[in-house]
Structure 1
Amino acid sequence: MNPIVRSLLENDLYKFTMWQALLHSHPGAQAEYVFVCRNTPAYPLSELKADVERELDHLCTLFFAEDELAYLRGLRFMKSDFVDFLAVFRFQRKFISVSTDGELLNIHAVGPQVHVTGFEIFVLYIVNELYFRRFDQQAALVEGRKRLQAKIAMLHAFGSEAEKKNPFEFFDFGVRRRFSAAWQEEVVVTLAREVPQYFKGSSNVYLAKKYGLTPIGTMAHEYLQAYQSFGVRLRDFQKAALEDWVQEYRGDLGIALTDVVGMDAFLADFDLYFAKLFDGLRHDSGDPVVWGEKALAHYAKLRVDATTKRLVFSDALDLPTAFALYRHFADRVMTGFGIGTNLSNDTGIATLNIVMKLMSCNGQPVAKLSDSAGKTLCTDATFLAYLRQVFHHPALN
């Protein structure tokens, strides 16, 4: 088998943007990332241990090629010193370990955050592809292609609907939980060819470069979570993270993630200053309609024209859900839809719900208080209770 990781560029764009921001603002931070499977796989992931070890060994031999560095340097929000850092960057095998506990697969990355943050997406798609290699590949691809054509037909039918004020646009967010690299590439190429009026880019930087697509992404939970350990008052960590982002990107990459401690707590921090500086918000947990209405009400309260802003939805989306949200909001605000697993791993085989999350930073626990039950991850119950108290966040079952 060929190695799964083809290029260090095959990562989500927001990994690079967060990486740059953290390198500039907190280069000495120490971090721990932990792999978790949230559902029950068809066979024990512990069986993949040797293969995962081999793939990580390979990952740690890779470096950025000159044309890849030139591509990153051509993105106006990438700073030259960060690209210079990437030119000499290598993943260090000593910072990541793999073990098993019964049927469970444990993967820990511990070390300087600017050296271990990049492991996350590679680990997830290494585990995912190794897992799905054990199923009937041909049958899965036949079913996947049938489902992909059904999605394209759905998009063409959608095009006959009356136009809203703003266009329908969606993106591929599927690198982390894809069926395989080859299948994600086939999906992206097919969508770009068949429905370019709707399909507007991919978070996969490697594919964006290869096919001249727009790379999509700004920030993820780990960026804001890290600020829980960066010495600011806990109540102020979101404002500190957003302020540093503004100073780093000066108007670029203006979509803020809202659900690190819940939408209500986010809006309490998202004052007129931030509402004017950021282009919009991204939804990743909780009821999307309730979330969107809260966002619009907040803009109205601040007397900010919501028609100049964008709401991006990215929580377990499929096309019918995206269409419904578009119909609800598109006359009042610009929208965007990041679709992940339903594009890159819709082949008729039950998918894995795997994540690799930041669990501690600078020796302190960090946490996300999701607006969806089952998404909160924290190993320190005392810190989690304190975080809930500070942000008045209810415990979800």
Structure 2
Amino acid sequence: MAFLYSLVRVVVKKFGGKLLQNTERIKQVAETVVQDKRSGQEIVCVVSAMGDTTNQLFNLARQITPTPPIRELDMLLTAGERISISLLSMAIHSLGFDAISFTGSQSGIITDPHHTRARIVRVTPVRIRDELAKGKIVVVAGFQGVSENREITTLGRGGSDITAVALSKSLGSNECELYKEVGGIYSVDPHLVHDSKKIERISYTEMVELAALGAGVVHPRAVEIAERNKIVIRVRSLNGEVGTVIEEQQAIEKPSVKGMAVDEKIAMVTLLGVSRTSGFLEQIISILAEHNIPVRFFFHGAGDEACDLSFIISEDDCDCALSLIENLSKRLTIKQIICRKDVGQLSVIGSGIGSDSHILSTVFSVLSKDHVHIDAVYTSEVRIALVMKREQTDLAVRSLATTFGLKK
């Protein structure tokens, strides 16, 4: 029996919240699942909460208190996926197929203890395997797990993508299907550039950069798990359109721009006249890290006794970061602290572009002609990130999309 079961192809299919926003759409998802089941697949569905349910639950908590305890917040937010899994399981049953729904903890998704931002430690999908062996379709709640001390945890926004790829790995599948409303990855967010091209294939590295820098179609942590375990991600739509394949790719052509991402929810913190005492940079970075405030870019000007430095963080982290820096100024001399919330980040993505002087020159030339002032720029092998006034990001992204052929 175990040998026969190992020959069956297990496919993990993740369905986003917009595809599940009402009962009619849940029935459509069930029909898609059943059709693939008829073709011989053993199916595990990972689902998000219906529509805007997670935001609605979060707003309920904020109506009670502006600072809800994070343990109780996780207990509340995971209710959304429990509704989705039960309704989808019912819809599959109504079509004549056996299905069973599991929460994250029932699925064996073990996480670290950090509420609202947990990371998966391991997956032990014993119950999932048992039900697949009985011929059932398994429906799993995404976004959630359980810690070693049996506390319910959540993986953060977009965490259902992480659940799906982690389950693919634990079930021995080399592919994972992510069904999204948009049905693929676009070179630029269609809300910004309405005629942007759909990307047919993209490397893990390029996708991680796009996802981390503002293109929210796929969670970057999900792509990182896929890359480590050589799992191909297929981003699809319910209507059968050709989507996007995320996979390992070898660079055989000259560097080219694959896509762009815009993030308007950032802030630039600048510290003027920072005393250059021993370990001053380490103190600043460490205190931000201790409070889980990611620093995207850190740069400073040289000086014998004092220097100016700036860093880019999420706008949501700005108030906390300022409070930490103000406390730190009791130990370090800092003449002035400035926080700018009027900035945005435009990131140009493509394998090898960060070291290609022609592409860099083209970017600067185009933006100069449009009178776009660049406050900061930083590069990596696959990224050119530009910080500018938020009001100029729309103009910049449209001009660069035209220049680099990212429109249809």
TM-score scaled to structure 1, two decimals?
Answer: 0.26
Structure number, greater radius of gyration? 2
Which structure shows the higher helix fraction? 1
Structure with greater strand percent: 2
